[in-house]
Amino acid sequence: MNGALSGRVYIVTGASRGFGEAIAKALVDAGARVGITGREAATIEAAAASLGADNALGVVADVADTQAIASAFGRIKAHFGRLDGLVNNAGLARPGSIHSLQEAEVRLQVETNFLGTVFCCQAAVPLLRGGDNPRIVNISSASAEHHDEMSHLSIYAATKRAVERFSRDMRRELQADGIGVTILRPGNAPTAFAAGWDRTRFDAALEAWYSAGSEMDVGMDVAHVGASVAWCLSSPPGVSVDVLEVRPNLRIPKPPKSLLMGEG
């Protein structure tokens, strides 16, 4: 990257854990400063502290709340004196077979994963216009493209596919402003993504996943996603990574079902 991110400022949503935290760390390690957002004050403050007060500002904001996002993004730009890009990482999933989908959880996923991305882009674009090599990276998921990912995540996968279609139109619309738009599609990596899932429906999803085949892909870490985002943001003006998919590439047998399902 040769110092391409040094001194630049980026917003990373959903940055208190998992991919978002790794992305923020990769950007700071590359010399950038970051504004990070999340819904829980304690976790977002801890994540910002771990990055250093000079490097990061944590702001509590729900991406589905347009007023909260507009306020947070404006505060971050004012704090650092500039804004060079946005990484839309905030997202969540709730497992459920089609017949067991619950309205509240369907709406939560749509509002967070898709509408949240739309609203964050709307808030960021006016702040990015006129900048030097501004960028937006929208985090999708391998689940949007591949059928060998975790089962019973139909709504999550659908929202990520919607993010990709929205991003393609936005890429064309923002060319006149010189704002590059990238879709990053990460595969599976160890995170706390499934924390808080309903145990009964998670077990049903695991059963379906095991019945789909006896092997799985491993080998990827959250740091690989962070490095991929940093690389995308480092493209020179006039060049933009359109779609980048990063997936684990070591094929191994799935672990014993009892291990993942907490049996025994």
Structure-token pair, residue 40: 């829980």
Output the average pLDDT for the chain: 92
Q: Output the CA torsion sign for 154, 151, 108, 184.
A: negative
Ranked by mean pLDDT, the top range of 63-77, 91-105, 199-213 is: 63-77
Q: What residues form DSSP beta bridges with 245?
A: 185
Q: What are phi and psi of 230, to 5 degrees?
A: -60, -40
pLDDT at 264 over 50: no
Give the pLDDT of residue 107: 97
Task: Tell me the sheet residues that pair with 243.
Answer: 183
80, 156, 209, 231: the catalytic one is 156
Q: Is 156 a catalytic residue?
A: yes
Token pair 């995170």: residue:
191
0.85 surpassed by pTM: yes
The residue type of 146 is H
The three-state secondary structure class of 131 is coil
In contact, 15 and 25? CB cutoff 8 Å: no
User: What local confidence, expressed as pLDDT, does residue 191 receive?
Assistant: 74
Q: SS3 for 91?
A: coil
Domains and CATH numbers, the chain: 9-261 (3.40.50.720)
Q: Are 62 and 16 in contact (CB under 8 A)?
A: no
- State pLDDT tens for residues 150-203: 788 999 999 999 999 999 999 999 999 999 999 999 998 877 777 778 788 878
